[in-house]
Amino acid sequence: MARADKEFGKIRKIFWPIHKKECKLFFPMFAIYSLIVFVYSMLKPAKDALVITARDSGAQCIPFLKTWAILPLSILSIFIFTRLSNKYATKKIFYILIFGFLSFFLLFSFVLYPFRDVLHPHQTADFLQAHLPEGFKGLIAVFRNWTFTLFYAMSELWGTIIMTVLFWGFANEATSVKVAKRFYAILGVGANLATILAGFVSHTLSSSSFHNIIYRLPGNRWERTLQLETFVIIIISITTVLLFHYLNQHLEKINQENSVKSVKEEKPKMSLRENFNYLRKSKYLICIALIVLAFNLTLNIIEIVWKDQIQHLYPNPADYSAYMSRVMSYIGILSSFISIFICGNVIRGFGWTVAALLTPITILITGTLFFGSILFQDQGFGALASFIGLSPLFMIVSLGSLQNILSRASKFTFFDVTKEISFIPLSRECKLKGKAAIDGVGSRLGKSGGSIIHQFLLIIFASLSASTPYLAIILLLVVAIWIGAVKSLGNQFQELTTNNEKLEVNEEETTSSKEEPLTTNTIT
């Protein structure tokens, strides 16, 4: 299927390096991924607004939430996924999981949230808060607002299970390394445009001016916002299912048109323990896992401090959600620019390693600036903010927003594309098991690792601001490990792709075997 890039003209090579006969595969993939990202981008500001602005809560609840709620549910979800994978075809798993998520979001918006005051154990939580140290306030908030905790966790799992494990597992089966270098950057453009649109829709549904028009609807402003967003998510998700069904129905025909014979492979049986054994036995997979862990660890360390500052600036949940939605739109705009003009050309022109290094370098620089603004707000930063005519809090929030926009834009382009390309030289069994362990649980371990660090420091210092110097030091150490893992993986990736090999993970050792380049396989 793949041809050399030299067949494209200079302009087309930058903006549209897709062959005509590849469009039947590319366009459905483009639409499916964009819609999945749209839903996640709608859920992201809503989940943050719910838990951070809840009663007796704040950003300090997030470290406890990610450790004691999201991590166990992530492990459970991957266990369920592996069980389903052993029993059902990919298409059926997709349907089961999508409709499972939609059922929960409907239940939350129309039952759990309206009856939150009855369901939340405020009296017990008040007793615990009165008798436990201040550092446990975040953990108590997770328990107090348990329905919000569940919504937060399910929203995060949409990104993990539907977007990362299911979609990218599908995409990696349907493309080769050469094709992925052309496809994935443009898929990122669709995701970024979806993020912009989702930010706009979410901001509109959260805005006071919009609610002045629909004031006759029952419930308060935030309750109406959640219900309206749920309707949008349902419509988008059903459209995604229909597109996925169409693509699966036509994939065998697409393979035949591209002169690719469909080889029916026996589907490997997977267990959660086997998935992690694959990581232990392969240096290649360990490097991917380290990269995923490092990204989620560093972003979690910075984001919690930033969201704490936003909560002080915007204590109302609807205003908080509206601000986060604007940030999501800016992320989408910048990500789209990088995807169109920079990402694909950097990967093709400078190689995998250079592209993969851009994300840790971006986080290192922007994270240092953000933490510096907090650490030195009394040694000159506050005076600088006053000179500009802004409050120090607004300036810190703005720098944190800039950090989040740049790091997320880098994540949605260079990080995601290079990570997914790195899975392609693996054998099918290794790809399925390794990816499920790394993306399904490994990413959560990274976030939970950052959360455990925050919990430990909160129990000692009782506030996020007091723990900031130590977080800055940890950030530097993790980024250094991340850069080392990228360089090691880049060398291994180059060797495999140069020799046209597939990485196999055996019982006793890791080997590589010669195979034909993978193009489009029938997904059953």
Q: How far apart are CA 44 and CA 50, in angstroms?
A: 10
* 216 phi and psi angles, rounded to 5 deg: -75, -15
How many other CB atoms sit within 10 Å of the CB of residue 204? 14
SS3 504: strand
What are the strands, taking DSSP E only, across 286-422?
A: none
Q: How far apart are CA 224 and CA 228, in angstroms?
A: 6
Question: Bridge-partner residues for 501, per DSSP?
Answer: 514
Q: Which residues, including other chains, have CB under 8 Å from residue 255's CB and lie 6 or more apart? A: 261, 262, 520, 521, 522
CB 418 within 8 A of CB 265: no
Q: How far apart are CA 116 and CA 277, in angstroms?
A: 42
Smallest CA-to-CA distance from 454 within 48, 65, 52, 56 is with 65
Q: What's the token pair of residue 157?
A: 């799992």
Q: Which amino acid is at 269?
A: K
CB 486 within 8 A of CB 360: yes
Residue 362, pLDDT score: 95
pLDDT tens digits, one per residue of 439-456: 766 666 777 777 788 888
* 351 phi and psi angles, rounded to 5 deg: 100, 170
pLDDT exceeds 90 at position 384: no
Q: How far apart are CA 479 and CA 496, in angstroms?
A: 26
Q: Let me know if 75 is exposed, middle or buried by CB neighbors in 10 A (0-12, 13-18, 19+).
A: middle
SS3 513: strand
The model's confidence at residue 291, banded by pLDDT at 50, 70 and 90, is: very high
Q: What's the token pair of residue 366?
A: 């922007």
Residue 207, pLDDT score: 73
CATH of domain 23-261+271-514: 1.20.1250.20
Supply angle C-alpha 242, 195, 449, rounded to 5: 100
CB 440 within 8 A of CB 78: yes
The model's confidence at residue 504, banded by pLDDT at 50, 70 and 90, is: low
Q: How far apart are CA 320 and CA 59, in angstroms?
A: 12
CB 254 within 8 A of CB 42: no
pLDDT tens digits, one per residue of 100-125: 999 999 999 999 999 999 999 999 99
pLDDT tens digits, one per residue of 400-445: 999 999 999 998 889 988 988 888 887 776 776 677 677 766 666 7
Residue 3, pLDDT score: 46
Q: How far apart are CA 244 and CA 255, in angstroms?
A: 16
Residue 499, pLDDT score: 67
Q: How far apart are CA 223 and CA 226, in angstroms?
A: 5
How many other CB atoms sit within 10 Å of the CB of residue 280? 11
Residue 336, pLDDT score: 83
* 238 phi and psi angles, rounded to 5 deg: -65, -40
SS3 426: strand
Q: How far apart are CA 25 and CA 255, in angstroms?
A: 9
Residue 435, pLDDT score: 72
The model's confidence at residue 217, banded by pLDDT at 50, 70 and 90, is: low
Q: How far apart are CA 380 and CA 400, in angstroms?
A: 18
What global pTM score does this model have? 0.71
Q: How far apart are CA 68 and CA 447, in angstroms?
A: 12
Higher pLDDT, 213 or 42: 42
Question: How is the chain split into domains, by residue range?
Answer: 23-261+271-514
pLDDT exceeds 70 at position 258: no
What is the 8-class DSSP label of residue 281?
Answer: H
Residue 113, pLDDT score: 93
The model's confidence at residue 457, banded by pLDDT at 50, 70 and 90, is: confident
* 8 phi and psi angles, rounded to 5 deg: -90, 150
pLDDT tens digits, one per residue of 23-54: 777 888 899 999 999 999 899 889 988 998 88
* Mean residue pLDDT across the chain: 81
Q: How far apart are CA 300 and CA 305, in angstroms?
A: 9
